[in-house]
Structure 1
Amino acid sequence: MNLHSPRDGDNASETRFKGSGKLAGSAWQNYYHSDVYRSDAIPSMPPGGHPDMDNAFQRLPWGRNQNPMVPNTMEAQLAYAGLFESETDVEDGFPWGESVFSVSKGFLSGFQSFLYVLYMCTALVFCISLIGLIFLILSVAINKPSAESFISLFHDIKYFYLIVAVLYFGGKYGRLLLAYLTDKRQRANPTGLYRREGLVRIKEGKTVFEAPFIEFDAYLVHTPSGRGGRYFNLVLQHRYSKHQLWMKGLLTDAMNQKEVYAYWDMIQQFMDVSGPLPDVPIFEPFRARDPVTAAHDERTGRDPFKWRKVTREAWRKDHEQGWQNRLQETNFHHPCILDAHIQGRGLPLPVEPRGVMLA
Structure 2
Amino acid sequence: MNDVYQTTAYRSDAIPALPPGGHPDMDRAFQRLPWGHNQNPIVPNTIEAQLAYARLFESDKDAEDGYPWGESVFSVSKGLLSGLQGFLYMLYMCSLLAFFVFLIPLGLLILKVIFTEPSIKGVLWIYDTFKFIYLLIAIGYFGGKYGRLQLAYLTDKRQRANPTGLYRREGLVRIKEGKTVFEAPFIEFDAYLVHTPSGRGGRYFNLVLQHRYSTHQLWMKGLLTDAMNQKEVYAYWDMIQQFMDVSGPLPDVPIFEPFRARDPVTAAHDERTGRDPRKWRKITREDWRKNHEQRWQNRLRETNFHHACILDAHIQGRGLPLPDEPRGAMLA
Q: Is 1:95 paired with 2:73?
A: no
One-letter code aligned to 2:180: T
**Maintained 8 Å contact 1:195/1:270:** yes
Q: Cα–Cα, structure 1 residues 342 and 91, in superposed 2: closer, same or farther, change >3 Å?
A: same
TM-score, scaled to structure 1? 0.78
Give 1:1-359 correspondences, 5 Å limit: 23=1, 28-29=2-3, 31-119=4-92, 122=95, 125=99, 128=103, 143=119, 160=132, 167-345=140-318
In the alignment of these two chains, the number of paired residues is 315
Distance 1:60 1:166, change over 3 A: closer
Change (3 A) 1:256 1:157: closer
**Cα distance in structure 1, aligned partners of 2:17 and 2:8:** 13
Cα deviation, residue 182, structure 1: 3.7
- TM-score normalised by structure 2 residue count: 0.84
Q: Which amino acid letter does the alignment assign opposite residue 175 of structure 1?
A: R
Amino acid at match of 1:315: W
Over the aligned positions, Cα root-mean-square deviation in angstroms equals 3.0
SS of aligned partner of 1:87: coil
| Structure 1 residues 290 and 335: alpha-carbon distance in aligned structure 2, compared to 1, 3 A threshold | same
CA contact (8 A) 2:175 2:182 kept: yes
Aligned counterparts of 2:64 and 2:93: Cα–Cα separation in 1: 29
Judge conservation of contact 2:206–2:221 (CA < 8 Å) in 1.
yes
Between stretches 234-243 and 49-58, larger displacement belongs to 49-58
Give the Cα separation in 1 of the matches to 2:85 and 2:112. Answer: 36
Higher CA-based Rg: 1
CA contact (8 A) 2:166 2:172 kept: yes
Distance 1:144 1:331 in 2: 67
Moved more, 83-92 or 294-303: 83-92
Q: What letter matches 1:317 in structure 2?
A: K
What runs of 5+ residues in structure 2 fail to find an aligned partner?
Answer: 320-332
**Distance in 2 between the 1:67 and 1:165 partners?**
42
Tell me how far apart the structure 2 counterparts of residues 166 and 132 of structure 1 sit (CA, whole Å): 24
Q: Which runs of 4+ in 1 moved over 4 A?
A: 119-124, 126-139, 141-145, 155-169
Which residue identity does 1:319 align to in structure 2?
H
SS in 2 for 1:65: coil
Q: Aligned partners of 1:279 and 1:226: how far apart in 2?
A: 35
Deviates more, 1:201-210 or 1:53-62: 53-62
Q: Structure 1 vs Structure 2: percent identity of aligned residues?
A: 80
Distance 2:118 2:31 in 1: 73
Q: For the residues of structure 2 that align with 1:163 and 1:281, how far apart are their CA atoms?
A: 35
Against the structure 1 CA distance between its residues 345 and 319, is the aligned structure 2 distance closer, same or farther, given a 3 Å change threshold?
same
Q: Distance in 1 between matches of 2:136 and 2:207?
A: 43
Q: CA deviation at 1:276?
A: 0.3
Q: 1:238 to 1:115 in 2, by over 3 A?
A: closer
CA drift of 1:92 comes to: 0.8
Alpha-carbon spacing, 1:134–1:298, altered in 2? closer, same or farther (3 Å): same
Q: Which runs of 5+ in 1 are unaligned?
A: 1-22, 347-359
Using the TM superposition, give the Cα deviation of residue 219 of structure 1 relative to its aligned residue in structure 2, in angstroms.
Answer: 1.2
